[in-house]
Amino acid sequence: MAAASARQVNIAIIGAGGVGKCFLSQLEQLAARRPSPKLVLTYICTSKKALYSTDHVAISLSNIPSSLASSQQAPLPLPKLVDFLSTSGSKTVLVDNTSSQDVADAYPIFLSRGISVVTPNKKAFSSSYKLWQDIFAAAEQSGAKVFHESSVGAGLPVISTLKDLVDTGDEVTKIEGVFSGTMSFLFNSFAPTSGSGGKWSAEVKKAKELGYTEPDPRDDLNGLDVARKLTILARLAGLPVESPTSFPVQSLIPKELESVASGDEFLEKLPAFDAQMEETKAEAEKEGKVVRFVGSIDVTTKQVKVGLEKFDLSHPIAALKGSDNIISFYTRRYGSNPLIIQGAGAGGDVTAMGVTSDLLKVLSQIA
């Protein structure tokens, strides 16, 4: 019987919110569908509570939200968690379903102790270039794996495609696209390819009500989320981008509203600034174009930028629907017609799918 238990991989999870919940249900189905290697959850925590036992006993995958809610255990501090996970005697994968900078900063320590990491956490791969180097150096040295497909475009195969292009020796010349579901939705409603669209402030308010924006819409409108995603892709394409603030990023927050106290106050005062956006839209219309919020990486000239651009109505970026993302890779092999990836770039289920798919990749390499 001993041989059966030898093929076991322990899973530790940080974060059980939106993406975390969806991932748990996918993990439960995965464990039932694929008995080998045996997937054993030995640790899970939220910011306040945790479930684990000192001897690494398996935690049942059913009813985790209620088990966590009634737990009396606090999360282990990260250095202690590293020790706990590395003493189990089994190969271990840490799934970080948070957007925490503290957890991201600890990746090199987890990886250097042989613990693989799978995550949608953008901060790990878009903060300082030194952290990026430390993460991949630690993985290289220990043989642990690190995958982060869902850090750009949720479950869309953006990072894996770019890695394949680079690893097979294609030359990526330019990457361009709409990388934010929020910005996609806003501009598809505000400046549709047919019809007139509503007032800018009304579209922002509607997007917030429908759950497309962060609780404070300024966290989307400042462009930083897109800048983080571009930082990740630029680095994968070989540009040593220092940070998401080291290239031009256009913010759509009027200067006068940058420091208002709350998201609600921001929405209340935004209508006074509609004229600026109306003018931008009208300018594009005069040229027979529409305005979109895009990110682009020109690998040849090493230029990265985020902001408003005008597109012909026939351009794939102009024709997006809903809150879809679109990412175009221009490469030597693909010539003048780019390789295009398009679809939902946000949402719990599709983000968790990217994480689950990364977990499968890790398992195929370590188990």
Question: Is 173 flagged in the annotation as binding?
Answer: no
Give the SS3 label for residue 117. Answer: strand
d(CA 220, CA 212): 10
Question: Is 16 flagged in the annotation as binding?
Answer: yes
Annotation marks residue 229 as catalytic: yes
d(CA 222, CA 207): 15
139: phi then psi, degrees, rounded to nearest 5:
-65, -45
DSSP assignment of 135-195 equals HHHHHHHH---EE-GGGTTTTSSHHHHHHHHHHTT--EEEEEEE--HHHHHHHHHHS-SSS
Show the DSSP H helices in the chain as ranges: 2-6, 18-33, 64-69, 78-86, 101-105, 107-112, 123-126, 129-142, 158-167, 181-190, 200-209, 218-221, 224-236, 263-269, 274-286, 348-366
d(CA 7, CA 159): 29
**71-101 b/e with 16+ CB inside 10 Å = b?**
beeebbebeebbebbeebebbbbbbbbbbbe
Question: Is 199 flagged in the annotation as binding?
Answer: no
d(CA 347, CA 356): 14
Q: What's the Cα-to-Cα distance from 72 to each of 56, 63, 80, 96, 327, rounded to whole Å?
A: 17, 16, 18, 22, 45
d(CA 174, CA 299): 6
Residue among 205, 229, 281, 310 flagged as catalytic: 229
Question: Is 19 flagged in the annotation as binding?
Answer: yes
Owner of token pair 């305005």: 291
Owner of token pair 């054993």: 40
d(CA 295, CA 306): 4
Owner of token pair 């600026």: 276
Question: Is 18 flagged in the annotation as binding?
Answer: yes
End-to-end CA distance of the chain: 18
Residue positions forming the annotated binding site for NADPH: 98, 122
Residue numbering of the annotated binding site: 15-20, 98, 122, 214
Binding residues for NADP(+): 15-20
Q: Which residues are annotated as a binding site for L-homoserine?
A: 214
Positions marked catalytic: 229
